[in-house]
Amino acid sequence: MTQTEPSRVAQQAQTGRPEWATLLRRKPRPAETVIQGLLFASGAISILTTIGIVLVLGNESLSFFTDSEVSLVEFFTGTRWQPQTGDFGVWPLVNATLMTSLIAMLVAMPLGIFAAIYLSEYASPRTKALLKPTLEILAGIPTVVFGFFALTFITPILRSLFGVDTVQIYNDASAGLVMGLMIVPLIASMSEDALSAVPRALREGAYGLGATKFEAAVQVVLPAALSGLVAAFIIGVSRAVGETMIVAIAAGATSQLTFNPFQAAETITGHIARISGGDLSYGSLDYRSLFALALTLFVITLGLNLISRWLVSRFREQYD
């Protein structure tokens, strides 16, 4: 196009009469092109972020695993995590992460789903307009505040209930319970979306056969929304696994492999926060081990999020 331009311009100049072909000709708009390029670059920053995460975590993890003191096998099978003595077995941290997440989900799942059923099937519009935003305030409170709540409120209650000898000051139970409370609004809101997406016709079908409201809600609507509920569960787990401040404050700084929820046990995130908060020399084995942990965390949460998204999209197809 650009090659033919000079001759056409010359032609036009000679005749002194603009041609339609010239008028309609595509004009180069450098500004538009530059702007579009900038906009694309902004969009691509999100890709760069992901690539950055993968590269940074991968690179440092690689140099961690290639260190003579560490082996991949030890990392994934070892039951001791004591960087001072060169023990880098990830299981104590993973175990504590799973424990706190499990406790959190045991709280959040029933509360969240029951609240969702109430809001979607029972509450009048006016009640719903009052209860739902109130519940959502919980979701907006910074997690460090939940950590404060766990340590200064829930832990003392647990200790007075079960005895100060049974319950340590730092323990997984308190962190898990409060994490559950934090996740309730997330589960409730995702589940309510799933329940509300079940067509009215299904409820009417059930009522028309002489089902009570409860029977229709639990035996027809709930199963129909199942994949949405599972998606909510998975996102909840992902949130619990990645949550840092509550466990950093309330679950303690002892990395140990224990199944007793009343004992202190450091999680993956808690460990990263504690070690990186101190004076850490760049390039040390400790420093690199944090990236290996962060990579583990990233892979777990990314996997969970992908599964959840897939489930939600499948659910949409079913009823569209």
Partner 1 sequence: MSNSTLSTTSTMTDSTRLKPLSATTAVDTERTETAIEARHLNIFYGAFKAIHDVSMAVEARKITAIIGPSGCGKSTLLRAFNRMNDFVPTARVEGEISLHGHNLYAASVDPVEVRRRVGMVFQKPNPFPKSIYENIAWAARLNGYRGDMDRLVEDSLRSAALWDEVKDKLKQSGLSLSGGQQQRLCIARTIAIRPEIILMDEPCSALDPIATIKIEELMQELKKQYTIIIVTHNMQQAARVSDRTAMMMLTEDGKRSGTLIEFDDTNVIFTRPKDKRTEDYVSGRFG
Partner 2 sequence: MATIPLPPKAIDSYRPNLAGRHAAGRTWETIFLAATMVGILGLVLLMFNIVNNAFGIVAYADENDYSLFSPVPVEQLADSDLIVLLTNELSTGAINKLNTEKALDTRSRSELLSLVYERILERKVVASSTLDQALFARADFEAEALAKNEAAQFVFRSWLSPEFLTEPMSSQALFSGVRTAILGSLLLITLTIAIALPIGTAAAIYLQEYADKSLINQIIETNIYNLAGVPSIVYGMLGLAVFVRALEPLTSGAIFGNVDSNGRTVLSAAMTMALLVLPLIIVNAQEALKAVPDSLRQAAYGVGATRWQTIWHHVLPQAIPGILTGSILAVSRAIGETAPLIVVGASTFITADPTGPFSGFTALPIQIYNWTVQPQAEFHNLAGAAILVLLVLLLTLNASAIILRNRLSARRVL
Interface residue list for partner 1 (CB under 8 A) = 124-125, 199, 201-212, 215, 219-220, 223-224, 318
- 303's tokens: 């996997």
Which of partner 2, partner 1, none does residue 303 bind (CB under 5 to 8 Å by kind)?
A: none
Write out the E strands in the chain: 81-82, 87-88
Query: Would you say 203 or 288 has its CB closer to partner 1?
Result: 203
- 310's tokens: 């897939």
Q: Closest separation between CB of residue 307 and partner 1, Å?
A: 21
Q: Closest separation between CB of residue 15 and partner 2, Å?
A: 25
Distance, CA of 93 to CA of 271 (rounded, Å): 8
CB 115 within 8 A of CB 190: no
Q: Residue 82's beta-bridge partner residues?
A: 87
Which of partner 2, partner 1, none does residue 257 bind (CB under 5 to 8 Å by kind)?
A: none
Query: Would you say 50 or 77 has its CB closer to partner 2?
Result: 50
Count of CB atoms situated within 10 Å of the CB of 177: 26
Q: Are strands 87-88 and 81-82 parallel, antiparallel or unpaired?
A: antiparallel
Rounded to the nearest 10 degrees, the angle between the axes of helix 172-196 and helix 91-117 is 40
Q: Closest separation between CB of residue 214 and partner 1, Å?
A: 10
CA angle 206, 211, 216 (to 5 degrees): 60
CB 298 within 8 A of CB 228: no
Query: Would you say 211 or 302 has its CB closer to partner 1?
Result: 211
Query: Would you say 37 or 77 has its CB closer to partner 2?
Result: 37
H/E stretch holding 242: helix 226-242
Which segment (3-11, 64-72, 73-81, 295-303) binds partner 2 by CB under 8 A? 295-303
CB 174 within 8 A of CB 203: no
Which of partner 2, partner 1, none does residue 265 bind (CB under 5 to 8 Å by kind)?
A: none
Which of partner 1, partner 2, none does residue 14 bind (CB under 5 to 8 Å by kind)?
A: none
Out of 28, 86, 110, 208, the residue judged to bind partner 2 by CB under 8 A: 110
Query: Would you say 79 or 144 has its CB closer to partner 2?
Result: 144
Out of 8, 9, 22, 50, the residue judged to bind partner 2 by CB under 8 A: 50
Query: CB under 8 Å to 173, separation ≥6 — which residues?
Result: 103, 158, 167, 261, 262
Contacts (CB under 8 A) with partner 2, residues 136-195: 137-138, 140-149, 151-153, 181, 184-185, 188
Give residue 191's identity as a one-letter amino acid code: S
Query: Would you say 120 or 227 has its CB closer to partner 2?
Result: 120
Query: Would you say 279 or 317 has its CB closer to partner 1?
Result: 317
Residue 95 within binding range of partner 2, rule CB under 8 A: no
Q: Closest separation between CB of residue 201 and partner 1, Å?
A: 4
